[in-house]
Chains A and B, each alone.
Chain A
Amino acid sequence: MTRIDAKFAQLRAEGKKAFVSYIMAGDPDITTSLEVMKGLPGAGVDVIELGLPFTDPMADGPTIQLAGQRALDGGMTLNKTLQMVRDFRADDDTTPIVLMGYYNPIYSHGVDQFLTDAKEAGIDGLIIVDLPPEEDDELCIPAQKAGLNFIRLATPTTDDKRLPKVLTNTSGFVYYVSITGITGAAAAQATDVGPEVARMKAHTDLPIIVGFGVRTPDTAREIASVADGCVVGSAIVAEIAAGKSPADVLSFVKGLADGAHSA
């Protein structure tokens, strides 16, 4: 059982929805980014998604693209991202951390070495945008063997015929992408998302967490109410980009978390 599984079991027992937040590792610099990360659980975040910067983030909108560029310009690397996780783990051994990014930095590091390093650093799960089920042999299956969850994205284009294939090697939770598009784009609509979550529930017992297009406490509540929780990324990253202090960023996050938890 990973920290992710334990967290969702606990939330389920408490009848609570999950609030998942995304920040980019090393944005705008490692010190600030680590300070924000350490404050997330206190602000009500149940699961932390930590972005691994990449030069070519094909599924991301401008907000997260620029966050990645700021991190890379500041010298962020995969090894430094793992070190950030170790530093976080020094004070917190329970909050689940999901590393989210693209395959090439991991492939370049070497898959086996990466899995050893990630597990040791305290990462619990992976979301790798450019690894669909057709490429499961690359990382998904080795990761599960190494005891890491591999969380898959399901999208509005994942039809019923394809859904079982997407769910087969998924663990931890399912990340439902509320829109066809990139991060930070159109607003998610609970009326669209509700039936989609129900469609997925017919195929899996895993928690369904909805992301893309959630920006305000109200949307967080609406979306969480029709799913097992929601993710906010770009809206938080935009606060960091605006130069807000970690305390201000965390108070923004708390508003979103309260929204999701009130569902």
Chain B
Amino acid sequence: MDDLVNSFMTGPDEKGRFGIFGGRFVSETLMPLILELEEEYERAKTDDSFWAEMDFLWKHYVGRPSPLYHAERLSERLGGAKVYMKRDELNHTGAHKINNVLGQIILARRMGKTRIIAETGAGQHGVATATVCAKFGLKCVVYMGAHDVERQAPNVFRMRLLGAEVVPVTSGRGTLKDAMNDALRDWVTNVRDTFYCIGTVAGPHPYPAMVRDFQSIIGKETREQMHEAEGRLPDTIIAAIGGGSNAMGLFFPFLDDKSVNIIGVEAGGKGVNAKMEHCASLTGGRPGVLHGNRTYLLQDDDGQILEGFSISAGLDYPGIGPEHAWLHEIGRAKYVSITDKEALEAFQLCCETEGIIPALEPSHALAHVMKIAPELPKDHIICMNMCGRGDKDIFTVAKHLGFDMSDTEGRTAD
């Protein structure tokens, strides 16, 4: 059979679809813009000078390549598989988000756009966008759900220090999906000078493919580093999923390596049940259309979108990137969910055994590693994506662990 027929890496098609997922479900005002963006991106993709600029900034501004690290004590503690971490939390700004932001901002500059807008949940994408805008002297407006503004105060302050305007979103229920709605409303109003920098592998085509391509640096480096360290491919790769950009970035370069198990970890909140106190779109949702693409969504019987629930603001989104929806349906990747409680346990174990304070998002991936590693043989290699550091989350975690941060003697609350 033709290799192309067997490849999982050829999507999306010319309509921006991965199977039935993806597409361009936007209002007419935005349609000419996303067609222009697609053209510009197609040009940039084969332009050496574009990638030369990316490589330079990735190396000197972001600090890439990020290390691939053998988590020896954690592996020992789990008593099974050999666990590696791809250390994207060591990037400038503390998460993988900047990989993509650099690409989009360079594109925006090529298109002559002077104003950048973004949506943010945990604030990591907002901080990355504000950072790159400051570097290039671009005006930056970040939409953030009012509830998230409250629970991610340090990141709000960071964005403001970096010169960005942070707009607390109160429309709808004031969460990440509403922030995305308001960003789209801004874009429709300021079409001529504004570039919408989307933070995940969702939205109308070409965003899911473009963001994946920018994040694929994670997987490309992992392949090379794993060959150097072990002389072979990993057996299992694992990443956390809200919209799914860090996961897509790790997964994509491995899609055609049939020996590699691919596992995406959704936020199970209080547990995936009928009460919808979770954000597990693939486990607990069904296909629908929102924010420019068809994908799995948390929704009621009438097609109204439901709010997700998670301890992690970065995973708190009722949808998932369309390419993940497709990988799920064809079975190339497996998707599981992890509860808040399990993620908190993984967070603590990582601190204690490795001296790494992880963000709550990758703590979900780590929690699944904790579940499966003990049953696997010692020569089984797992690589999880440590996509963000936990500085931003210490207040949330303290609260959940009953630790009173204002008490200088370190007594626990209650």
Contact = CB atoms under 8 A, between A and B. Distances in A.
Interface of A: 54-62, 65, 69, 72, 77-79, 102-109, 129-135, 152-159, 162, 166, 177, 180-182, 185
Given A59-B27, A135-B25, A181-B189, A105 B302 contact: yes
Contact of A58 (B23, B181, B191, B302): B181
Interface residues of B, number: 37
A242 to B, nearest CB: 19
B345 to A, nearest CB: 34
Contacts of A155: 27-29
Interface stretch (B271-279, B289-297, B326-334): B289-297
Contacts of A57: 181
A108 B299 contact: yes
A211 to B, nearest CB: 13
B288 A181 contact: no
Given A54-B304, A78-B303, A104-B303, 14 more contacts: A58-B27, A58-B291, A65-B171, A69-B172, A102-B289, A104-B288, A104-B289, A105-B303, A107-B303, A109-B302, A131-B25, A132-B27, A134-B31, A157-B28
B107 interface: no
B330 to A, nearest CB: 21
Contacts of A107: 288-289, 294, 303
B288 A108 contact: yes
Contacts of B223: none
B17 to A, nearest CB: 10
Contacts of A152: 28
Nearest to B304: A55
Contacts of B389: none
Given A55-B304, A108-B302, A135-B24, A159 B181 contact: no
B42 to A, nearest CB: 16
What are the nearest 3 A-B pairs in CB distance?
A108-B303, A105-B303, A181-B189
19 contacts: A54-B304, A58-B188, A58-B291, A60-B185, A61-B185, A77-B302, A104-B290, A104-B299, A107-B288, A107-B303, A108-B288, A108-B303, A130-B25, A134-B24, A153-B28, A157-B31, A157-B32, A162-B31, A182-B185
A180 B303 contact: no
B28 to A, nearest CB: 5
B15 A134 contact: yes
A155 B288 CA distance: 26
Contacts of A65: 171-172
Contacts of B25: 103, 130-132, 135
B302 A154 contact: no
B336 interface: no
Interface in B113-135: none
